[in-house]
Amino acid sequence: MFTVTGEGPVFHLYNEFVSLVLAVRTDPEGGYQEVCLTHFGYPIDEPLNTLDRLILENGSSNDSLRQIMPYAFPTEGRGDYRVPLFAEAYEDGGNCTELYYEDYRYAAGKPKLEGLPQTYTEQDDEAETLTIILRDPLTKLKVEASITLFAHRPAIASSMKIVNEGSEKLTLSRAGSLCLALPGHFDMVQLWGSWGKERYVQRVPSATLVRSISSSRGASGHEHNPFAILCDPNADEFSGRCFGVSFVYSGDFEIAVQENAYDQTRLVCGLNPRSLDWPLAPGECFQTPEAVAVYSEQGFNGVSHVYHDLYRTRLCRGYWRDRPRPVLINNWEGTTFYFDHEKIMDIARSAAALGIEMLVLDDGWFGQRNNDHSSLGDWFVNYDKLPRGIKGLAEDVNALGMKFGLWFEPEMISPISELYEAHPDWCLHADGRPRTTARHQLTLDMSRTDVQDFVIESVASMLRSAPIDYVKWDMNRNFSEIGSSVSNRHGLPHRYMLGVYRVMEALIQEFPTVLFEGCSSGGGRFDPGFLYYMPQFWTSDDTDAVERLKIQYGTSFAYPNCTISAHVSASPNHQVGRVTGIKMRGDVALGGNFGYELDLPNQTTDEEKEVIREQVKLVKKIRETTHSGVFTRLLSPFEGNITAWSYADENRVILCAYRVLSTVKRGPVYVRLHDIPQGTYQDQNGKTYTERDLMNAGIKLEFPRQDFASMVTIFEKVK
């Protein structure tokens, strides 16, 4: 719903869960009009009351006033000193920008962003969009700020279209997507990590500092996920005021939070200004990616529930969006590069016998790829390893009743490859500098359309040549020497990302039923941008069950479980050497898209195979619920020895609990469930519970006397 009142005017976008008020303030001395965000949060009735935040009557543009103003679109160089959303740079070295209110538009629905990932609507009544038009009176730069409020969700999407309507060439040195101006102080919760340790939850207390997370690696990265929550200091998983922010983009980003001495908090989210420098000639236009902000008073789970539902149903797209995913086996941890047709078929036969539905052939099937030193870019079959080719292998796998999937790393080029011999200028490089390799590889210059076309054709021709149902899209290094043979370095990381998005869009359009899974040395590009093209992501190369508790728990802050791939791997675990039982490994993998990652015939005993058979049966029975049920975190692995989470939908409730180390018996431990739909439920032993029993009395956690123990209880709804 939308109102516009007063002369200012004051805009109020609201639904039953959230209100957003933008007020135009006319400066009494200068006469110019600036737009302020006077409220974002719990629904309110009278938006004009929020004008107290503006000191409208007598405030002039003095120094301290500028530092208090809750600007919605703050700019550089006008004396507010906080992190700005926009900055232009001019040829004469100046960088001062003013953006004043000019007009607004309002429409039902959500406009499409060309060439970028985005949340979407299927019907116009699912959202409404307010567009505020701003202009710099000197340079004539026009900004159209679009703010979409989703119906029945406490969520907004915000993005900016920037047009140079002047006659001077400008450079955008900052072009953010969202600014939140919030009164008060907040803790910041973010997801940090490294390879094998992605998306650990970190809480940084309120401080009069700039707290910022970012990437300048060319990918959103392992280090910081483009996601943050600002919350009240007493907020926890279940209660407290929280503002979530998530950037729908896969490359360089920055989320900066600044509190000042006047009790004002500003959050700015967008492309990383370090690598933007976007030249904007007269007449040119630049569209920022979108940021999605969420409000909840139900703590972190409240924020996650909103992102889970929105991203599962209105960010992910296509054939697989609403379909539970096949149980797969991937050969990577089982064989790495050392396989041939027969070895893969042995794994496939054993997997088929246990009910596994798809075999994925990982790295090493192409060119001369017998280790990671060569062949990226040479996307043709290695017939020494696979004499019947990919087609023959896929057909043999299909004959077992299984689907077949294949790994690619399309954005890369090995210096030892036929592709590099033919096109040494196709990688990112800076003339006169060494070409720094990582994992012995260079990055293709995906800003070039000839390179994009080559990548589309390489992947597409393989997919056309064989019955391939799934693609794992890997990316195993970040940028260095960010330069191109065909363009200057300005804005190159963003042009790279636009190129990757164009390639992925072309492929998903041609192969709409192929299931694409993103990957980047594990979860190094697990972000909402990627999920628009590929509805699931390889969560981490660390597949140890204990380590995965933290990784998957953290990932679930922003991402629905149907996007989180989770596989059972060998024990002792390859990454950490820990020995865990097949039950614990399987129970942890229920936290996402379930699969296996081992040499089944050689790395499992007969007894383990029987457990696997039962696990696969269970997954098939409950996967509708793990795909789209409400996922709630109950006990955190970051806070104690026991982790627990649950799924709930109209059919069942699934409680998963894990105890890392055994302890002497200290009396029963109960976990109370949350967000359980009304009904009567029955567990495996025939005991019945109502939703109130589950939520108020809780369930007793019982683990066997051993380290690395788990329990999964399924409560089927009986009425």
Catalytic residue list:
474, 541
Q: Does 307 bind ligand DGJ (CB under 6 A)?
A: no
**Residue 42 in tokens:** 């719990």
Segment 109-148, which members bind ligand DGJ (CB under 6 A)?
none
Total residues in contact with ligand DGJ, by rule CB under 6 A: 11
> For residues 546 and 281, what is the distance between their CA atoms, to the nearest angstrom?
53
Report in angstroms how near the CB of residue 539 gets to ligand DGJ at its nearest.
10
Q: Which two tokens stand for residue 159?
A: 């993005």
* CA distance linking residue 295 with residue 16, whole number of Å: 12
Residue selected from 34, 128, 187, 541 as contacting ligand DGJ according to rule CB under 6 A: 541
Rounded CA separation 53/25 (Å): 11
Residue 517 near ligand DGJ by CB under 6 A: no
Token pair for 505? 């869009």
474 part of the interface to ligand DGJ, by CB under 6 A: yes
Q: Considering beta carbons, is residue 407 or 557 the nearer one to ligand DGJ?
A: 407
Interface mask toward ligand DGJ for 35-64; x: CB under 6 A: ------------------------------
* Nearest distance in Å: CB 330, ligand DGJ: 7
Residue closer to ligand DGJ by CB (options 120, 332) is 332
User: Which of 121, 139, 146, 476 is close enough to bind ligand DGJ by CB under 6 A?
Assistant: 476
**Considering the complex, what minimum distance in angstroms separates the CB of residue 474 from ligand DGJ?**
5
Residue of 551, 443, 548 lying closest to 499 (CA atoms):
443
Angle at 324 between CA 502 and CA 459, to 5 degrees: 30
Provide the minimum distance between the beta carbon of 242 and ligand DGJ in the complex, in angstroms, as a whole number: 31
**Could you tell me if 534 and 516 are in contact, meaning their C-beta atoms sit under 8 angstroms apart?**
yes
Name the residue nearer to ligand DGJ (CB basis): 240 or 535: 535
Give yes or no for a contact between 560 and 674, defined as CB atoms under 8 angstroms apart.
no
Buried b (16+ CB within 10 A) or exposed e, 697-716: ebbebebeeebbbbbbbbbe
- Helices 582-589 & 606-628 angle (0-180, nearest 10): 20
In the complex with ligand DGJ, the residue whose CB is nearer, 117 or 522, is 522
Site for ligand DGJ in 313-372 (CB under 6 A): 332, 362-363
Stretch that binds ligand DGJ, among 198-206, 515-523, 638-646, 704-712 (CB under 6 A): 515-523
Beta carbon of residue 182, minimum distance to ligand DGJ (angstroms, whole number): 38
Which residue, 144 or 541, is less far from ligand DGJ as judged by CB? Answer: 541
- Long-range contacts from 500-503, C-beta under 8 angstroms, 24+ separation: 500/250, 500/411, 500/446, 501/115, 501/116, 501/117, 501/250, 501/529, 501/533, 502/115, 502/452, 503/410, 503/446, 503/452, 503/455, 503/456
Give the CA-trace dihedral at 353, 355, 358, 362, to 10 degrees.
-60
Nearer to ligand DGJ, 136 or 362 (CB): 362
The residue (of 224 and 525) whose beta carbon lies closer to ligand DGJ is 525
Per CB under 6 A, 538 contacts ligand DGJ? yes
Helix (H) or strand (E) segment spanning residue 398: helix 389-399
x/- map, 237-276, ligand DGJ, by CB under 6 A: ----------------------------------------
Please report, as residue ranges, which positions from 196 to 225 form the binding site for ligand DGJ (by CB under 6 A): none
Residue type, 114: E
DSSP, res 334 = H
**Residue count (the chain):** 719
Q: Least separation, in Å, of the C-beta of 525 and ligand DGJ? A: 11
For residue 226 the two structure tokens come to 């483009």
Nearest approach, Cβ of 223 to ligand DGJ (angstroms)?
Answer: 16
- 3-class state of residue 423 by DSSP: coil
Q: For the CB of residue 575, give the shortest distance to ligand DGJ in the complex, in Å.
A: 11
Residue nearest to ligand DGJ as judged by C-beta position = 363
Minimum CB distance to ligand DGJ smaller for 121 or for 520: 520
| 519 scored as a contact of ligand DGJ (CB under 6 A) | yes
Which CB sits closer to ligand DGJ, 269 or 393? 393
Q: Is 522 in the site for ligand DGJ (CB under 6 A)?
A: yes
Which CB atom, from 575 or from 646, has the smaller least distance to ligand DGJ?
Answer: 575
Edge-to-edge strands of the sheet including 19-26?
Answer: 2-5, 10-14, 19-26, 33-41
Work out whether 70 is an interface residue with ligand DGJ (CB under 6 A): no
Contact stretch for ligand DGJ (CB under 6 A) within 265-273, 429-437, 516-524, 642-650: 516-524
- The stretch among 146-154, 295-303, 514-522, 708-716 that binds ligand DGJ (CB under 6 A) is 514-522
Q: Considering the rule CB under 6 A, would residue 407 count as an interface residue with ligand DGJ? A: yes
Residue given tokens 């990652």 in the structure block: 597
CB 469 within 8 A of CB 515: yes
Q: Cβ closer to ligand DGJ: 362 or 587?
A: 362
Q: Least CB distance from residue 29 to ligand DGJ, whole Å?
A: 58
Residue 445 contacts ligand DGJ per CB under 6 A = no
CB 334 within 8 A of CB 598: yes
Among residues 252 and 541, whose Cβ is nearest to ligand DGJ?
541
Of the residues 331, 521, 615, 643, which one makes contact with ligand DGJ according to CB under 6 A: 521
547 binds ligand DGJ (CB under 6 A): no
Give how far Cα 439 sits from Cα of 42, 442, 474, 494, 550, Å.
48, 9, 13, 23, 26
Chain mean position to CA 710: 28
The nearer residue to ligand DGJ, 366 or 533, going by C-beta atoms, is 366
The DSSP annotation for 354-389 comes to TT--EEEE-S-SBTT-SSTTS-TT--SB-TTT-TTH
Q: What are phi and psi of 616, to 5 degrees?
A: -65, -40
564 near ligand DGJ (CB under 6 A): no
Residue 154: other Cβ atoms inside 10 A: 27
The tokens for 466 are: 């064989």
At 529, which amino acid appears?
G
- As measured in angstroms, the least distance from the Cβ of 522 to ligand DGJ is 5
**From the CB of 595, what's the least distance to ligand DGJ, in Å?**
11
Q: How far is the CB of 439 from ligand DGJ (least distance, A)?
A: 8
Cα 353 to Cα 415, 605, 609, 613, 712: the distances in Å are 41, 14, 10, 8, 24
**Which range, of 454-462, 518-526, 574-582, 700-708, touches ligand DGJ by CB under 6 A?**
518-526
| Window contacting ligand DGJ (CB under 6 A); options: 258-266, 484-492, 519-527, 666-674 | 519-527
Q: Which of 553, 539, 543 is nearest to 644 (CA)?
A: 553
Instruction: Give min distance, CB of 190 to ligand DGJ, in A.
Output: 23
- Site residues (vs ligand DGJ, CB under 6 A): 332, 362-363, 407, 474, 476, 519, 521-522, 538, 541
